[in-house]
Amino acid sequence: MTTTPDTPRDEAGGLNDIANLANFVDGVDPKRYFDRQAEDAWRDAAKRWPVLAALLALDARAERNR
């Protein structure tokens, strides 16, 4: 039998490491921190699939792609 979490605080996972930390540690405000996890993920993907990155006009070496 599986149980479902009563609140998001009881749930593992989330948007990023900082949001997860805020779920488990009182006083952590995720708006005050920057998490590079998402940026690192798209850079790694752009290097892994260069043709797709070119189609999307992404440059893995660029400082920011927005």
pLDDT per 10-residue tile (average), the chain, 66 residues: 50 71 90 81 90 87 62
Q: What pLDDT does residue 30 have?
A: 86
Model-wide pTM > 0.75:
no
Burial of 64 (0-12, 13-18, 19+ CB in 10 A): exposed
Contact assessment for residue 22 and residue 28, using Cβ atoms and an 8 Å cutoff: yes
The DSSP letter of residue 32 is G
Q: What pLDDT does residue 11 have?
A: 54
Q: What pLDDT does residue 42 have?
A: 85
Q: What pLDDT does residue 5 have?
A: 52
